[in-house]
Amino acid sequence: MKQFTYKVTDELGIHARPAGLLVKEAAKFQSSIKIKNGTKEADAKRLLNVMTLAVKQGNTVTVAADGADEADAVKTLEAFFKANL
Amino acid sequence: MGLFDGLFKKKEDGIIIGSPADGECISISKVNDPTFAEEILGKGIAVIPQSDKVAAPADGIVTMVFPTGHAFTMETKDGVELLVHIGIDTVKLEGKFFTKKVSDGTQVKKGDLIIEADFDQIKAAGYDTTIPVVVCNTADFADVQSVAEGTVTTAQDVIKIQK
């Protein structure tokens, strides 16, 4: 398993649009990908799950990938978070 | 709606999603936001509302009402994951003009009031009031199609889903 943490700087947090784009990125990988915000955890490939995390500006999330392409997944998603959130 | 409507729907074996509001139903491709128009969030429809009441499009559980009241998510009794997004870019209103009528986890019936939105004020603030309704787990179904165009009333059939 590989993971990274990221502190969300976008003032609107992960609302519908970034959640949708994030799910699209995550779906490109075979690995199972989880996002954690505090005590809540979501499957990064399921939009409703990701939105239910209600990630706000200033929250630190942990993204963990587990599977054959976990290294690529973590690299791509970390770049996505930096660029969009 | 009579007894036979229910019977016919069962026979067709499709899942029906209703309109979240009175208004005009349009193709989601016409929504002025590529996130919805390009179906990044999933397939669906959109309604240009003509009243301030936004209702549940199906029976199920309201999984989340956004703290800002500009959107809510639902899981229907048939396992359809829905996002009802009230207006375009309205996350930026930070809750202004939206009144939440239910809390997260509430069991609702199709047509139950979920959010009241002051669309006159939202329009005056410069926002498009179109309400996209998206099937977030589109990939879990064989087909998701729009079955309405033009004037619709709350709970009227707008999306048909095949398992």
Which pLDDT score is estimated for B12? 58
What are the domain boundaries of chain B?
27-162
Task: Quickly count: other Cβ atoms within 10 Å of residue B145's Cβ.
Answer: 11
What amino acid occupies position B54?
V
pLDDT score for A52: 86
List the structure tokens of B16: 């029906």
Q: Of all residues in chain A, what percent carry a pLDDT higher than 90? A: 85
- CATH, domain B27-162, list 3.20.20.220, 3.20.20.80, 3.30.559.30, 2.70.70.10: 2.70.70.10
- pTM of the full structure: 0.87
Series of mean pLDDT values for 10-residue runs along chain B (163 residues)? 56 85 98 93 96 97 93 95 96 96 96 98 98 94 95 97 94
Please check the confidence at residue A57 and state whether its pLDDT lies above 60.
yes
Closest to B73 (Cβ–Cβ): which among A20, A21, A51? Answer: A51
| CA separation for the pair B109, B64 (Å, rounded) | 15
Answer whether A16 sits within 8 Å of B85, measured CB to CB.
yes
Active site residues of A: 15
- Please state the domain count of chain A: 1
- Predicted pLDDT at B4: 61
**Between helices A70-84 and A16-26, what is the axis angle to 10°?**
160
Partners of A52 on chain B (C-beta within 8 Å) are 63-64, 73
For residue range A2-26, list pLDDT tens digits in order.
999 999 999 989 988 899 999 999 9
Q: In a mutagenesis test of the B interface, which of A48, A50, A52 is the best target, namely the one with the most B β-carbons within 10 Å?
A: A48
**Contact status, residue A53 vs residue A34, Cβ threshold 8 Å:** no
Q: What is the CATH number of the domain that holds A12?
A: 3.30.1340.10
Q: From chain B, pick out residues whose CB is under 8 angstroms from the CB of A20.
A: 35, 40-41
Instruction: Tell me the C-alpha distance between A28 and B135, whole Å.
Output: 20
> What range does the domain containing A28 cover?
2-84
Instruction: Catalogue the E-assigned strands of chain B.
Output: 15-18, 23-27, 43-49, 53-55, 60-65, 71-76, 81-85, 98-100, 107-108, 113-117, 131-135, 143-146, 150-152, 157-162
User: Residue B63's closest CA among B81, B78, B45?
Assistant: B81
